[in-house]
Amino acid sequence: MFRTIPIWEVDYYIDNYSDVMLIDLRSPASYRKSHIKGAVNLPYEEMDSWINSLPKDKFYIFYCSRGGQSMLVCRNLEPQGYNVVNIANGISYYRGKYMVRG
């Protein structure tokens, strides 16, 4: 079963894991307004076009606005052998040092 972490723990993963890949599942417009530094924008609505291109040798942290979409993506990928972490409740409560505002 994949891990679900509170948003404030994401800084720990960014600081301590060199192979972590942050995936922002929100719309491109939301991503441009704010995102976590280093995050790649792969919109949830376009999941069918990108989900099979993710390498399995990476460590992924998924986040969205409220946590529901990232949980669904993790539920899909974890049984396929991906190392995934879901951020509970999404990015809305993030006040960490890696916030980028557009």
Choose the catalytic residue: 64, 71, 73, 91.
Answer: 64
Asked about 64 being catalytic, the answer comes back as yes
- Identify the residue whose tokens are 């942050």: 22
CB 84 within 8 A of CB 77: yes
3-state secondary structure of 32: helix
Q: CB neighbours (10 Å) of residue 63?
A: 29
Rounded Cα–Cα distance for residues 34 and 83 (Å)? 25
Question: Is residue 92 helix, strand or coil?
Answer: helix
Q: Counting every residue, how long is the chain?
A: 102
By annotation, the residues acting in catalysis are 64
